[in-house]
Amino acid sequence: MIETIRKLVEAYGPSGHEDQIRALILEEIDGLADEVTVDALGNVIAWKRSGREGAKKVMLSAHMDEIGVMVTHVDEDGFLRFTGIGGVYASTLIGNRVRFADGTVGAIGVEGDMNRKPALSELYIDVSDGKNRKPRIRVGDAAGMVRDLVVRGDRLTAKSMDDRIGCAVQIEVMRQLSGSPNDVAFVFSVQEEVGLRGARTAAHAVDPDIGIAIDVTRTGDTPKGVKMDVKLGAGPAIKIKDSGMLAAPEVVALMEKAARKARIPCQREVLVRGTTDAAAMQLVRAGVRAGCLSIPCRYVHTTSETVDLNDVQNAVKLLLTLLKEPVRV
């Protein structure tokens, strides 16, 4: 599973520019589904059908997009001004590198004194080549961060665990799931970081009986960190509430039952800031019972997002256990 994770987290794919990561996911799931479609917005919807009349429809959704930046101005010397795509923090960007869709890599610098918290407008991307050539990058071009996956025992650190790790969980579930009595739609959604847009259109098409997002969540296990009862290595977290939704109690109970049956640890999650695809699924059509299975993650929305492999593997086990029985809500 590590090599699948490596491919996903190192790939390019800021919100609205998911072509490369989508092609990679389509390659990874080739032959694993009964039906695969890509909708007008760019979501991948992969069905594993039960073949049973009246089977419940379960929608799983992990977003394939990542935070990034978009060029707003290009000068003659190879310096680019930019804005954020999604929740980009200026204080974490200085000295980092970004890659554009065409492979161009630039370094992020800051005006003046580095010993202060800058505004995003004070940062720039340096793509100069020393040959006095105007950059081929144009206004409106998007870039994602550049950072390789690092494996330290069970701890995995990379630039886009949010939410490529959720995509990896779904791919692994697809590989191992057979004979489910439910019709399962595995959705790899787009544009989550800019407003849960892909999940909303995908859920309208799928029209599920229940929906479960697979995403990352923050932790409370770092020095002087936020007070939150989620930590790395203690199992996947079952969301109760975040700033965008209240999880359906029936879906929470379904996931907790599956964790007990699979004999894996799990945690309960209340997230003060942030939300997931589940919030969009919940409000589609006449409403959907929705919840979220979260992978605890340190340093969210930085280039060093860190998860524990045991939590990832246990998330796979929980979902397999849940899907191997008829869903009743």
Are 160 and 22 contacting, i.e. CB atoms less than 8 angstroms apart? no
Point out which residues pair with 1 in neighbouring strands. none
Tell me which of 192, 193, 269, 305 is the catalytic residue. 192
| Side-by-side strand order, sheet with 35-38 | 35-38, 44-48, 183-189, 57-63, 210-217, 289-296, 237-241, 267-270
Which of 21, 41, 17 is closest to 143 using CA atoms?
Answer: 17
Give helix 19-28 / helix 161-176 axis angle, nearest 10°. 20
Query: Which residues have a Cβ under 8 Å from the Cβ of 112 and sit 6 or more positions away?
Result: 122
Tell me which residue has tokens 């939704």.
245
What secondary structure letter does DSSP report for 265? -
Please name the helix (run of DSSP H) or strand (run of DSSP E) that holds residue 87, with its range, or none: none
Q: Are strands 44-48 and 289-296 parallel, antiparallel or unpaired?
A: unpaired
Which phi and psi (to 5°) does residue 43 adopt? -65, 145
Which phi and psi (to 5°) does residue 24 adopt? -65, -45
Q: Does the annotation count 192 as an active-site position?
A: yes
Please give, one letter per residue, the 3-state secondary structure of 115-134.
Answer: CCCCCHHHEEEECCCCCCCC
Which of 121, 119, 118, 96 is closest to 106 using CA atoms?
Answer: 96
- Token pair in block for residue 11: 């790939």
Q: Are strands 267-270 and 237-241 parallel, antiparallel or unpaired?
A: parallel
Please name the helix (run of DSSP H) or strand (run of DSSP E) that holds residue 201, with its range, or none: helix 197-206
Which of 229, 158, 132 is closest to 6 using CA atoms?
Answer: 158
Active site positions, annotated: 192
